[in-house]
Amino acid sequence: MNRQLETEIFQRFIQKAKVDRFLWMLESPGRRRRILDDLRDLRYFDRTSCEELTGAAKESNALIERLTSLQVRDPLYLICSDEDYDGTEHDLIPFVRERLWQIDEVIGYCRQSRVGFFKNHEGWFYILSK
């Protein structure tokens, strides 16, 4: 887990009033699981940083094209509900094509572009940028 990077993600995309709560939850593995329970929808995200993608825009190739146009590059850091992927880095294209839609909640983040995305268990997909 990269606490510094995770702190940056929450400070950039979570409502200012809720950031400390999420940072507190990061400190413990037990509380960490609650983060993704709380992030099953957008209620804690800073809405000014969220752009919803729908329909064909969420298909793998369109999604990869959109993210790369926003300068999202490898490696992609993940906070997600799949313990095998949580707190790890992966290449954007294979992750989107092979794994993204099989994980309930995913926050992906590119540290170079400072652009990310959020996908929830219902298939909602948001680009996160400021």
Q: Which pairing describes strands 89-90 and 115-119: parallel, antiparallel, or unpaired?
A: unpaired
Percentage of the residues of the chain whose pLDDT score is greater than 70: 100
Neighbours of 117 (CB within 10 A): 25
The residues pairing with 127 across neighbouring beta strands, listed in sequence order, are 51, 117
Neighbours of 111 (CB within 10 A): 17
Phi-psi region of 14 (alpha: psi -120 to 50; beta: other; left: phi over 0): beta
Beta carbons of 79 and 5 less than 8 angstroms apart: no
The residues pairing with 53 across neighbouring beta strands, listed in sequence order, are 125
Confidence (pTM): 0.93
Q: Kindly state the helix (H) or strand (E) to which residue 76 belongs, with its residue range.
A: strand 76-80
Question: What is residue 27's predicted lDDT score, i.e. its pLDDT?
Answer: 86
Which of 10-14, 29-33, 63-67, 110-114 is predicted with the least confidence, judged by mean pLDDT? 29-33
Is the omega angle on the peptide bond into residue 75 within 30 degrees of 0, that is, cis? yes
Question: What is residue 6's predicted lDDT score, i.e. its pLDDT?
Answer: 95
Question: What is residue 30's predicted lDDT score, i.e. its pLDDT?
Answer: 84
36, pLDDT greater than 90: no
